[in-house]
Structure 1
Amino acid sequence: MSGYGGQPPPGWQDPYGGQGHGAYGQDPYGRPPPGHGYGPPGVPHASVGNGGAIAALVCNILAVVMCCNVLAIAGIVTSAIALGKAPGDPRSLRTLTIWSWAILAGAMILEIALIILAVAAGWTTDSGSPDYTSTGV
């Protein structure tokens, strides 16, 4: 009923009973019936929180700093853009925050896969130490 994202205050009643006015419930001038689409005055907009975007920004920054994960830089950029859009565009805020988390998850999965590949390929062995198993000593 309300175009403001909230419910009408308790006890509020539509003065037109939810019905149109005029013949057959229509306005002879083509205007919509009063009270439809806008809600009662004084109903506030639903608040939009940006905590998810802030958390995504912090986690992406930590991924770059602690794990040397340069792919998370894209997550930092999308989180920062999401925080810039927070007051005026809640749909973009949500979409960019989801993308930021998805980029972080993809970057972490790729990093774990590279670590597993490095261990499996033997890139982590110390080549400077002598190998005593082949000499029989």
Structure 2
Amino acid sequence: MSGHGGSSPPNWESPQGGTPGWDPSGQGGQPGPGYGYGPPGVPPRTVSNGTITAALVCNSIAIVLCLNIAAVAGVITALHAQRRITTDPRSAWKLTIWSWSLFALSVVIGIAVVVFFLTIGADS
């Protein structure tokens, strides 16, 4: 295991016993249970209660400031996410993403309304 040429030094034995790189059983070198990288796929992301609460608070502030229907939908999705955090974490994660997306949409709509009224006020 010198890292050069792929061969081991002379008189070197593997810590597991036998010659390195040789499988005397002829099984093909398949690892036993508990070895390897695990099943394919990525584990589902979990969402914290703080993320849901922050989405709920931000959407509530957007309702107060903009009276925006997208923020109302964001509050509703955040409330549903809070109810599902223990029973269905994957659904709670998706609902939290939706809640933040609706908050972003309400901010964009609020900015567009402000710009619209500023341009109307500047024209008159």
TM-score range normalised by the length of the shorter chain: 0.5 to 0.7
Deviation, 1:91, is 0.8
TM-score for the superposition, normalised by structure 1: 0.53
Deviation, 1:124, is 8.7
The letter of the residue matching 1:99 is W
The letter of the residue matching 2:53 is I
Deviation, 1:34, is 8.4
Match of 1:90 in 2: 89
1:88 is paired with a residue whose SS is coil
Deviation, 1:75, is 0.2
Richer in helix (by share): 2
TM-score for the superposition, normalised by structure 2: 0.58
Aligned partners of 2:49, 2:121: CA distance in 1, in Å?
Answer: 44
Aligned partners of 1:103, 1:115: CA distance in 2, in Å?
Answer: 18
The letter of the residue matching 2:69 is V
Percent sequence identity over matched residues? Answer: 41
2:87 is paired with a residue whose SS is coil
Contact 1:71 1:107 in 2 (8 A): yes
Contact 1:118 1:124 in 2 (8 A): no
Q: Provide runs of 4+ in structure 1 moved above 4 Å.
A: none
Pairwise CA RMSD: 2.8
Deviation, 1:79, is 0.2
Please list every run of 5 or more consecutive structure 2 residues that lacks an aligned counterpart in the other structure. Answer: 1-26, 35-45
Distance 1:77 1:124, change over 3 A: farther
Deviation, 1:70, is 3.4
1:122 is paired with a residue whose SS is helix
CA deviation map 1:25-84 (0-9, x unaligned): xxxxxxxx987xxxxxxxxxxx75221111101111111123333330000000000001
Contact 1:79 1:97 in 2 (8 A): yes
The letter of the residue matching 1:93 is A
Match of 1:54 in 2: 53
Please list every run of 5 or more consecutive structure 1 residues that lacks an aligned counterpart in the other structure. Answer: 1-23, 25-32, 36-46, 126-137
What pairs up with 1:95-110 in 2 under 5 angstroms? 95-110=94-109
Contact 1:75 1:100 in 2 (8 A): yes
